[in-house]
Structure 1
Amino acid sequence: MFTGLIQALGKLQPLANDRLQISCLAPCDSIMADIALGDSIAVDGVCLTVATILPQGFRVTASPETLKRSTLGQNSTQRPVNLESSLRVGSKIGGHFVTGHVDGQGYVSEIIQTDSAWEISFTVPNPQVARYIVPKGSVGVNGISLTIADCSPSGDWFKVAVIPVTYDETNLQYLRPNDAVNLEGDILGKYVERFTQLGVGSASDRPDNHNPPPDISLDFLATHGYG
């Protein structure tokens, strides 16, 4: 589990047998200070397990599904990757809950610099990913926790406003139109979607068959303040 607050940047180098080497770019103390074998580290939003520790980096093995679904298998631009260590018990949660399980890819459509921020727009061609794009909701873009400022009704387009500190400390500064990014929808929205599809189970599945709780539906959520 992660929070979408990037700690450092790294350089990704593909190796044989689906292995990847990530070399930290200074400063990287927050990543390397207490790294251990088996640790989870988000690399551009993809949760990977440390298999080898290097003096200033680490190696991991990525599954074929991970390479297919994310940008890690096509890092042809050689832009730096975002790095974040897994959430520790008691740590601050400054972004939102990010699992590191990327839903799919989006593409940069426009970058506009304003007086106080960078407005970056993305297209989301896959409807299975676009369904989790909602107004003012949270989204992970290359592992960065961002708030959706605007989006199309279907979610196939959205825009975020990026403040200078986020822009300067992540690989958003290297993005150009048509570049691919990793996208992860908010896990809370996925659970709500699942519950609205299945309800809370049939009466026979519940310990108290006489007073079953109401099924969770969109109407139920709206009535109880989740509008």
Structure 2
Amino acid sequence: MFTGLIEEIGSLRSAERRGEAMILTINARTVLEDVKLGDSIAVNGVCLTVVSFDGRAFSVDVMPETYRHTNLHSLQPGSPLNLERAMMAGARFGGHIVQGHVDGTGVIRDRRTEANAVVFTIEPHRRNALRHVIPQGSVTLDGISLTVVSVDRDAGTFTVSIIPHTLRETVLQHKHAGDTINIECDILGKYVDHLLHAKEERSDSGFGSGQGNGKSGGLTEAVLRDNGFI
């Protein structure tokens, strides 16, 4: 598990490609301080396992599923990368719960300055990802824990506002309109959504406490009560 607080910007030393599989070797310093074989390091928000390392770099395997659903396949030698080690028990939890399990990619549609902030407009490639993105909720972009400013469901986009420190300390400083970015939605929202829909499916099938009429009334007092919220 991660928190979405980037520890350093590394750089890609090499990418050995084998079809839709890759071995990435990444130049780093901070994340190597206590590294061990088998450790998890988030690379642009993707949880990857360290398979070898030395004093200046580490290597990770990228399997086809990860290759297809993240922006790692577009990396070139020298590409900057957000890096974060897995969270330690007892450490401060400064961001939000980040698994490093990317839901998919999106494209930056706009980047604009607003006073001391930079506002990014993101369009997920899979439009249904927006069901888990809510204003003032949490979202992870290339491994960075961010707060959602607004959601435009008609346009299929959402916005985040970046403070100068975050821009300076992450790869967002290099991102512009047209660039691809990894998106991980808030795990709490995904689980709540899954559990609510699972209960509807059980009810529609005649199982559970539902009436099995195949109808969904949305978020009602009865739904909240049935799922233990009230």
Flag the 1:205–1:129 CA change in 2: closer, same or farther, 3 A. Answer: closer
Deviation of the 1:93 alpha carbon? 1.0
Could you tell me the percent identity over the aligned residues?
36
1: CA distance between counterparts of 2:100 and 2:47?
4
2:15 aligns to what?
14
2:27 pairs with one of 23, 26, 35? 23
Unmatched segments (≥5 aa) in structure 1: 207-216
2:199 aligns to what?
199
Superimposed CA distance per residue, residues 92-149 of structure 1 (whole angstroms, 9 cap, x where no aligned partner): 1111100001010011111112222111111113123232221111110000000000
Give the 3-state SS of the residue equivalent to 1:195 in structure 2.
helix
Give the 3-state SS of the residue equivalent to 2:220 in structure 1.
helix
Note if contact 1:5-1:145 (Cα within 8 Å) is conserved in structure 2: yes
Give the 3-state SS of the residue equivalent to 1:159 in structure 2.
strand
TM-score (norm 1): 0.85
- Mean CA deviation greater in 36-45 or 130-139: 130-139
Paired residues in the alignment total: 212
Note if contact 1:131-1:154 (Cα within 8 Å) is conserved in structure 2: no
* Residue 106 of structure 2 is aligned to residue 102 of structure 1: no
1: CA distance between counterparts of 2:113 and 2:76?
26
* Residue 223 of structure 2 is aligned to residue 219 of structure 1: no
Pairing of 1:69-88 with structure 2 (within 5 A): 69-76=69-76, 78-88=78-88
Note if contact 2:138-2:148 (Cα within 8 Å) is conserved in structure 1: yes
Note if contact 1:134-1:155 (Cα within 8 Å) is conserved in structure 2: no
Flag the 1:15–1:37 CA change in 2: closer, same or farther, 3 A. Answer: same
Note if contact 2:9-2:81 (Cα within 8 Å) is conserved in structure 1: yes
2: CA distance between counterparts of 1:179 and 1:77?
17
Deviation of the 1:199 alpha carbon? 2.4
TM-score (norm 2): 0.84
Pairing of 1:73-222 with structure 2 (within 5 A): 73-76=73-76, 78-153=78-153, 156-199=156-199, 218-220=219-221
Note if contact 1:109-1:177 (Cα within 8 Å) is conserved in structure 2: yes
Deviation of the 1:154 alpha carbon? 5.7
1: CA distance between counterparts of 2:154 and 2:100?
24
User: What is the Cα-based RMSD across aligned positions, in Å?
Assistant: 2.5
Flag the 1:170–1:21 CA change in 2: closer, same or farther, 3 A. Answer: same
1:40 aligns to what?
40
Structure with the bigger percentage of strand: 2
1:55 aligns to what?
55
Unmatched segments (≥5 aa) in structure 2: 210-217
Deviation of the 1:78 alpha carbon? 4.8
Deviation of the 1:2 alpha carbon? 0.4
